[in-house]
Amino acid sequence: MRTTLLATALLLGALPLAAQQEAPPAPGTPKDFRVPPRRSFTLPNGMKVSFVRYGTVPKVAVQLDLATGGIDEAADEVQLAGLTAQMLLEGSTSRSAGQISREAAEMGGSLRAGAGDDDLTVGGEVLSEFGDRFIALLADVVLRPRFAESDLARLRANLQRDNAIAQSQPGQISRARFRQMLFGDHPYGRVYASDSMIAGYTAARIAAFYDHNVGGRRAHLYVSGVFDQPKLERAIRAAFSRWKAGSAATVRPPTPVAHRQLDLIDRPDAVQSSLRVGLPVADPTSPDWVRLTVTDALLGGAFGSRITSNIREDKGYTYSPFSFVGSWPKTGLWVEVADVTTAVTGPSLKEIFGEVDRLRREAPPEAELTGIKNNLAGVFTLQNSSRYGLIGQMQFVDQHGLGDGYISGYVKNVHGVSPEDVRRTAEKYLDPARMTITVVGDRKTVEPQLEPYRAGVP
């Protein structure tokens, strides 16, 4: 056997190089991404319900999205929405936390809750045969929360501990400062509550926040997977029809700062600097949104993007830089994030801005852009290849009022972006002179490197 393998290897080695390196097959024609049609209805109290079928595994995901969160927090209520979400799992007026957890587990799943800037979600995934029971459990938790003071001390302590850990990390320090600089005293600009603020949160305060901001008018229930729709619809109507309508969702878009700002937070003797660079851009309702996502992916949002190739592969300044286009209702941001070696903090910014300027001047080659578009289309398809993935996409289009055509047309629209579209988009939105810069690093080493980037700072 060894002799045969050696002879074969020698024979292959003698073949012409061209014969060994066959060209890969040409890519096929991109296909539209197809999503099963959603079925929806609205209860008299304003609560919306959407069903979308997915897969063949007998499981169903049920998630209630409530249009509240950080957006409804006052200046002395930072992270109160997140604490409220956690308190929902501590028990209802008829079930303890243990009973809630055990019942969900008996259905083959679990119940979870969380809150962000604009939404508070409660839901989970269970075996399809228990879908109606899970809806009843979810309704009990949401409609009849216990909010007991005895449950709160532990959750407050957990939040204080988690914040202390987060605020010891340079990336999180940079993130919080970046948000504050861009959004100011708007709720989006407040990331972490102080220990004293958290200590002042009481069960009565949480109950008041919840009662004021939660009701049918702010609720959208999403169901995805394998399910008996008539059976679940009956369960939903029985569980939620008598829920109060409540107040309308808060509409309060910020006005992000759109001029050069630079802030350096000292971290003595740090071996790395944590950078954030970004500015306001169009939000998802803009016709430029898909072009922005493609432009971002080519610039810094994909592993093979230009900034990543430059400061990671070519220069070795950093290990895992990335960029993204973030969105909130009526608000969009482009952000580049990188942890770079302290000695090359200034050179890293030079390369980042250099790549932005190059893209604003020159349209990318067609082959480079095609690779980026194929990657974006593939990632989008993977993101929607699960029950929760589809729910996430529905939440996104509903929050921004995009319609389901956004999902079904996304792949086609991505592939329709031309090299000149990318250049024009970069020129229109990504002006380095308008970007905010935050740096967390060793001041004595970094500050001299930042001097060229203070030009234009008010």
> In a structure prediction context, what are the per-residue pLDDT tens digits for the chain, which is 458 residues long?
443 333 333 333 444 444 445 655 555 555 666 778 899 999 999 999 999 999 999 999 999 999 999 999 999 999 999 999 999 999 999 999 999 999 999 999 999 999 999 999 999 999 999 999 999 999 999 999 999 999 999 999 999 999 999 999 999 999 999 999 999 999 999 999 999 999 999 999 999 999 999 999 999 999 999 999 999 999 999 999 999 999 999 999 999 999 999 999 999 999 999 999 999 999 999 999 999 999 999 999 999 999 999 999 999 999 999 999 999 999 999 999 999 999 999 999 999 999 999 999 999 999 999 999 999 999 998 888 899 999 999 999 999 999 999 999 999 999 999 999 999 999 999 999 999 999 999 999 999 999 999 876 65
Q: What is the pLDDT of residue 30?
A: 57
Domains belonging to the chain, first-starting first, are 39-240 (3.30.830.10), 261-453 (3.30.830.10)
Name residue 239's beta-bridge partners: none
Q: What is the pLDDT of residue 2?
A: 42
Q: What is the pLDDT of residue 281?
A: 98
Q: What is the pLDDT of residue 31?
A: 62
Q: What is the pLDDT of residue 92?
A: 97
Give the pTM: 0.90
Q: What is the pLDDT of residue 1?
A: 43
Q: What is the pLDDT of residue 6?
A: 37
Q: What is the pLDDT of residue 11?
A: 37
CB-based contacts of 198: which residues, under 8 Å, 6+ apart? 79, 83, 156, 159, 160, 163
Given a contact cutoff of 8 angstroms between Cβ atoms, the answer to whether 83 and 206 are in contact is yes
Q: Which of 53, 52, 263, 228 is nearest to 130 (CA)?
A: 228
Phi, psi of 309 (to 5 degrees): -60, -35
